[in-house]
């Protein structure tokens, strides 16, 4: 029983470490892609905060798919009343992009 408890603790620690590393990678990709120019974690800039984005998609089954399309296709968005093309994320690595989306939705 003691071995099982220690094993579970070790697995949990690895999962938290992997999650933290993934979020660090996601934050790096957000910065590299210049997403932080228009977005922040908890306050609006010219784009909505990630907290606001997470609230918008909370409980929606298609949240990840919609955000994936949004960050990879460069759709038209309104900024200060003017229509602009949203910048695309600077990666073609689907797993990395999904980490970014997961990071945003965790807010």
For residue range 9-35, what is the model confidence (pLDDT) as tens digits?
A: 544 444 444 444 444 689 999 999 999
Residue 3 binned pLDDT confidence (cut-offs 50, 70, 90): low
CA distance 31 to 52: 19
For residue range 46-88, what is the model confidence (pLDDT) as tens digits?
A: 999 999 999 999 999 999 999 999 999 999 998 888 899 999 9
- Does residue 7 carry a pLDDT above 70? no
State the residue for tokens 């994320």: 89
Give helix 63-73 / helix 50-57 axis angle, nearest 10°: 140
Q: How many residues does the chain have?
A: 107
**pLDDT computed for residue 13 by the predictor:** 44
Residue 103 binned pLDDT confidence (cut-offs 50, 70, 90): very high
Q: Domain count of the chain?
A: 1
Q: Which residues of 33-48 are buried (b: 16+ CB within 10 A; e: fewer)?
A: bebeebbeeeeeeebb
Question: Measuring CA to CA, which residue among 42, 60, 63 is closest to residue 51?
Answer: 42
CA distance 14 to 35: 29
**pLDDT computed for residue 80 by the predictor:** 82
Report the CATH number at residue 12: 1.10.760.10
- Structural domain containing residue 46: 2-105
Q: How many CA atoms lie within 13 A of 96 on its CB side?
A: 15
- Can you give the pTM of this predicted structure? 0.74
Backbone torsion region of residue 26, taken as left when φ is above 0, otherwise alpha when ψ lies between -120 and 50, otherwise beta: alpha
């Amino acid at each position: 029983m003691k071995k099982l408890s220690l094993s579970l603790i070790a697995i949990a620690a690895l999962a938290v470490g992997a999650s933290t590393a993934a979020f660090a990678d996601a934050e790096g990709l957000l910065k590299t892609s210049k997403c932080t120019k228009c977005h922040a974690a908890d306050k609006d800039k010219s784009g909505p905060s990630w907290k606001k984005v997470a609230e918008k998609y909370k409980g929606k089954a298609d949240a990840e798919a919609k955000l994936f399309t949004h960050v990879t296709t460069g759709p038209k968005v309104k900024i200060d009343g003017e229509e602009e093309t949203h910048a695309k994320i600077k990666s073609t690595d689907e797993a990395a992009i999904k980490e970014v989306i997961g990071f945003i939705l965790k807010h």
